[in-house]
Structure 1
């Protein structure tokens, strides 16, 4: 059961360079992350029932190709790792031709909404995360995962 998020680039997301603005890539990835959270079973009703949510701790975006107004894209997910309260998630954005156009690597943490601190995932949510991890954990790590920013010197 793979996760997919689909969208097209609206006019409002296009900047003065005639392509999707960098902030809008992050908006799309944020919307996909919310859909991923729903996909693992932590939808609105479950968040209320468990008094539990997920916060984003860190992100790293790589912009690989331009996207223009009206172009369709799809975002897929890969759970690179997880523990009792964190998910190391990697999202890949593809254009309609199936070309990789951007990636987002992020660390998410499960939060008890009453205590406002990290706590273990509810059992059924952890089982869903484990299932998604098992689907892809043996795949090669994405090239953009774990990157750092810096100028290479010769």
Structure 2
């Protein structure tokens, strides 16, 4: 992962805990959404850009893997890796880690992952549009290798 994109960090809130006593599945996706927003902001696709251009990244496919429970008040870190970029598309993934209380650094294996396929959409035209050159170049510079699990679908029982 490139050092150019810092870890996104989030603390688990009490109202995100489900009836089983751990992070509810919807909130894994919410936290990953916040990490996507941070990626967009760092690439210049922030609120100001969206307002000026009428364009935004739209998620057209996502695959979430819930790998371990997350306890209340856990400190989380999300690592984001760009897997590919072209004129109108970006494929990337997030990996969620629980941080060690003493160091605040991610520890152990990922507790969840999300892989996303996104399109840069002109909202007024209602169709995909070319990414700005600067955003495409920045995102391309963040590209890293795909982990072995990337690109997989749901497995049959």
Q: Give the structure-2-normalised TM-score.
A: 0.88
Matched, 1:118 2:123: no
Match of 1:15 among 12, 18, 30: 18
Q: Structure 1 residue 58: deviation in Å?
A: 0.6
| 1:109 alignment counterpart | 119
Structure 2 portions without partners, runs of 5+ = 101-106
**Structure 2 CA distance, aligned partners of 1:144 and 1:8?**
26
Question: Any idea what the Cα deviations from partners look like across 1:78-115, whole Å, max 9, x if unmatched?
Answer: 11111111111110001114221100001011011220
Count residues in correspondence.
Answer: 147
1:1-154 equivalences under 5 Å are 1-97=4-100, 98-99=107-108, 100-133=110-143, 136=144, 139=145, 141-152=146-157
**Structure 1 CA distance, aligned partners of 2:121 and 2:45?**
12
Q: Structure 1 residue 3: deviation in Å?
A: 3.5
CA RMSD of superposed structures (Å):
1.3
**Structure 1 CA distance, aligned partners of 2:115 and 2:74?**
23
Structure 1 portions without partners, runs of 5+ = none
Q: Structure 1 residue 72: deviation in Å?
A: 0.3
Question: Any idea what the Cα deviations from partners look like across 1:8-40, whole Å, max 9, x if unmatched?
Answer: 110011001000011110111111111111111
Secondary structure at 2:94 match in 1: strand
